[in-house]
Structure 1
Amino acid sequence: MRTLDAAAARQAAYGGLVFGAGGGGLESGLRGGAAALDHGAPVLVTLDELRPDDQVVVMTGVGAPGVQRRLTRTADTLRALDRVIEAWDGDGRIVGTMVAHPGAYLPSSWFVNAIRPELLVVDCATNGRGHPTVAMGGMGLAARRDVQVTQAASGGLDDYLGHIDIVARGPVGVISSVLHHASAEVGASVASSRGPFSVDFCRTNGAPGAVSACLRLGEAMLAAEAAGADAMVAAIVDTLGGRELGRGPLLAAETTLVEAWDVGTLAVDTDGSRLEIVVCNEYMAAEMDGRRLSTYPDLIVTLSAADGMPTAAARMDEGDEIVVVAVPKDRIPLGAGVWDAVVYEDAERLTGRELASYALEGAPKR
């Protein structure tokens, strides 16, 4: 058990920025973490510190990470969480929350735990890295039609495309599709919660230690920050056990909003070779002159050559000097959701690339 303080919030934002592949916005994550700590002292616990039948609610967002307009507020996050809690009538007590996956926003998510100290920050996630679809964070339930899970969503602006407030119960894959389409109707971004899930289930099917992994990486990044870009790149690569795929100027960044997903490619000139990154909300694959180098759930990250910090596709311009890094999937806390072939169907359809066969190579037996 650990009380989360300002140092932890900074570490979580930095580490989460990498595990989220640059999504989430560092400055907003730092501000959100500071705001959370102004309201209380959230407490981090491991799964081992909880009872097997204690229940955890997953907090997340649904939509496209490249959306620039802010379409959700803290009230939306709380509303979605409350709807799930209100609907729970099973065994076990709801003791805490966990994020679906890390991002620089990670310390912002502690606001709920700060103002509601009875809800602990659970050191787990559905995945320890960003994922493009809710189904990939379904902890192995995406293809199950016999398991009913409550999911709630809230978001949108009355003076833009309108505000929605949805509660639904059903198979994770079915309801996730409903929420994704609903998010598209209000601008492609809503706050969401789902569950709850027992500690036993999270231990077996989630990504235990995901928050601690962000804290460790963030600590290494902050220690390297003053030493410059190369030191920052080295801190990220060495801490995670990754490798540099290449570096050079960004030749093209062609992403567009398709069915509420950010879809497209990035191309980097690496000493005359073309390094291409396939995008579907997340970086799904990296290829050098057509040869596959890395595939999701490997963590593919683009770093600025100027300071070594992660930079998302939506925030890069042609000519920007970047470094492309990949971390193998066996070095990342991952949940059961990424080991189900069905969860890759949308990304394969939208990108036109084969993903599942690469992603499932070496998958753990479950």
Structure 2
Amino acid sequence: MGRELTIHDVEAAVRGGSVFACGGGGWFDHGLEIGKAAITVGKPKLVSIDELPDDAIVVTTTAIGAPAGTNWQMLGKDYIKAVQLLQENFADQVVAVMTPQNGMSSTINGWLPAAALGLVVVDATGDIRAHPTGKMGSLGLASSLDYETIQVVVGGKPEEGSYLELVVKGTPARTSDILRKAADLAGGFIAAARHPLPASYIKKHAAIGGVSKAIDLGKAILAAEDQGSEIILETICQETHGAILGQGIVKKVDVSYHQAFDIGTITIEVENDFLTIHVMNEHMAVEDAQGNRLATFPDVITTISTNTGRPVSVGHLQEGDKISVFHISKEQLPLSSSVKDPSVYPEVEQVLGIQLSNHALKSIRE
């Protein structure tokens, strides 16, 4: 069943996941570290959701917090412990794990627990791109009052008293809010396992094939890497049916940390214009100097170094950087039930002070 994941898949998943990270989605080095640990500990396998029986239980594994946070600690054992604690508090046997999003490290979040605990990795994502809230990757369960979920977080620094292990049960919305607070208390980021669901539900509500899309993109990027940044950018556009909205210089980074979120704006001067990127952990929308909306979540919006061809996260963007603003329209992406759920948008809209849902849901509804 499935295929064994290799070191080449780790490198490709981190490269491709970095594009879908949209400025967030964890950290490049952390992704390599956890991915390499997974293939050292065991032999994780990537499987199609169709390979699992409908009643097989799948758990979402991830990390929660703000990529620019500086005082967090998530060790490999924390990812494993989170899944173990969920297994101990759930009546049925867990068979597989999946990720709620792609990202610099989040594409491979579940690979280590899968390898250590004898589980398989499902080729599906709660959202093809990275997003700021757990509700946006909750497979359409964000507003459900009927589904009692289990969510677990593990992480922090024991020597500083910030280490936490927390198991909560309740509605997805309430428990997600608790986990966000736990991430903040643990230093800004924390490992998590959540939402045990049957494979039949994943088939209907996830972005199917999300992991292999990141791996395939990463392989194409690696093949082009020796040819320079322009070829890398061309390759990314060709492989994803995406486009560059503009290229220019970062003029201002006005982003601050607040309760496990990085929030603010990034201004980039492009030819005869300025682009403003609205940030809540990830890039959520892009506007030109006249206020015209050029891209909106769940579109992919990624800042890529014009010099290196590599995506640059929110926490690493600096004034003076030469940046290409890359965009994939949602029409080119597999969309999960999460991003079609109107209830996931008001929280983010209130923080950013802009509209998202009217742009994000318009063509989806049509």
Structures share fold, TM-score greater than 0.5: yes
Q: Is the 8 A contact 1:304 1:322 kept in 2?
A: yes
Residue in structure 2 matched with residue 261 of structure 1 by the alignment: 261
Offset at residue 50 of structure 1 (A):
0.8
Alpha-carbon displacement from aligned partner over 1:225-270 (angstroms, at most 9, x marks no partner): 1111111111111111111100001000110012321000011110
- CA RMSD of superposed structures (Å): 1.5
Letter in 2 for 1:330: E
Offset at residue 195 of structure 1 (A):
2.2
Offset at residue 160 of structure 1 (A):
3.0
CA distance in 2, matches of 1:164, 1:27: 23
Task: Tell me how many residue pairs correspond in the alignment.
Answer: 362
Residue in structure 2 matched with residue 218 of structure 1 by the alignment: 218
Letter in 2 for 1:75: K
My pick for the range that moved more, 132-141 or 100-109, is 100-109
Alpha-carbon displacement from aligned partner over 1:141-173 (angstroms, at most 9, x marks no partner): 111112111111112213335222111111101
Q: Is the 8 A contact 1:57 1:97 kept in 2?
A: yes
Alignment of 1:289-308 (within 5 A): 289=289, 290-308=291-309
Letter in 2 for 1:211: V
Offset at residue 109 of structure 1 (A):
3.6
Residue in structure 2 matched with residue 15 of structure 1 by the alignment: 16
Residue in structure 2 matched with residue 115 of structure 1 by the alignment: 116
Residue in structure 2 matched with residue 205 of structure 1 by the alignment: 205
Residue in structure 2 matched with residue 179 of structure 1 by the alignment: 179
Tell me: CA distance 1:265–1:22, structure 2 relative to 1, closer, same or farther (3 Å). closer
Q: Is the 8 A contact 1:129 1:332 kept in 2?
A: no
Per the normalisation by structure 1, the TM-score is: 0.95
Residue in structure 2 matched with residue 312 of structure 1 by the alignment: 313
Residue in structure 2 matched with residue 5 of structure 1 by the alignment: 6
Letter in 2 for 1:4: L
Letter in 1 for 2:312: T
Alpha-carbon displacement from aligned partner over 1:72-112 (angstroms, at most 9, x marks no partner): 2222212211111112214xx42111111112223464122
Per the normalisation by structure 2, the TM-score is: 0.95
Residue in structure 2 matched with residue 51 of structure 1 by the alignment: 53
Q: Is the 8 A contact 2:124 2:206 kept in 1?
A: yes
Q: Is the 8 A contact 1:129 1:333 kept in 2?
A: no
Alignment of 1:275-290 (within 5 A): 275-289=275-289, 290=291
Structure 1 regions of 5+ residues with no counterpart? none
CA distance in 1, matches of 2:20, 2:218: 10
Letter in 2 for 1:59: T
Offset at residue 337 of structure 1 (A):
1.0
Alpha-carbon displacement from aligned partner over 1:317-341 (angstroms, at most 9, x marks no partner): 1010000011011222332111122
Offset at residue 58 of structure 1 (A):
0.4
CA distance in 2, matches of 1:161, 1:67: 17
Residue in structure 1 matched with residue 361 of structure 2 by the alignment: 360
Residue in structure 2 matched with residue 336 of structure 1 by the alignment: 337
Offset at residue 68 of structure 1 (A):
2.5
SS in structure 1 at match of 2:16 = helix
SS in structure 1 at match of 2:277 = strand
Q: Please say if 1:160 is aligned against 2:160.
A: yes
Q: Is the 8 A contact 2:23 2:283 kept in 1?
A: no
My pick for the range that moved more, 135-144 or 34-43, is 34-43
My pick for the range that moved more, 127-136 or 98-107, is 98-107
SS in structure 2 at match of 1:362 = helix
CA distance in 2, matches of 1:30, 1:138: 25
Letter in 2 for 1:186: A
Q: Is the 8 A contact 1:152 1:166 kept in 2?
A: yes
SS in structure 1 at match of 2:233 = helix
Structure 2 regions of 5+ residues with no counterpart? none
My pick for the range that moved more, 161-170 or 49-58, is 161-170
Alpha-carbon displacement from aligned partner over 1:29-55 (angstroms, at most 9, x marks no partner): 223322222222211110111111111
Residue in structure 1 matched with residue 38 of structure 2 by the alignment: 36
Letter in 2 for 1:189: F
Q: Is the 8 A contact 2:73 2:156 kept in 1?
A: yes
Tell me: CA distance 1:133–1:108, structure 2 relative to 1, closer, same or farther (3 Å). closer
Alpha-carbon displacement from aligned partner over 1:98-150 (angstroms, at most 9, x marks no partner): 1111122234641222222x200111111111011001111111111121111
Tell me: CA distance 1:34–1:76, structure 2 relative to 1, closer, same or farther (3 Å). closer
Match of 1:83 among 48, 68, 85: 85
CA distance in 2, matches of 1:115, 1:340: 34
My pick for the range that moved more, 301-310 or 182-191, is 182-191
Offset at residue 272 of structure 1 (A):
2.6
SS in structure 2 at match of 1:16 = helix
Q: Is the 8 A contact 2:57 2:199 kept in 1?
A: yes
Q: Is the 8 A contact 1:161 1:185 kept in 2?
A: no
Letter in 2 for 1:162: S
Alignment of 1:76-155 (within 5 A): 76-90=78-92, 93-105=93-105, 106-107=107-108, 109-116=110-117, 118-155=118-155
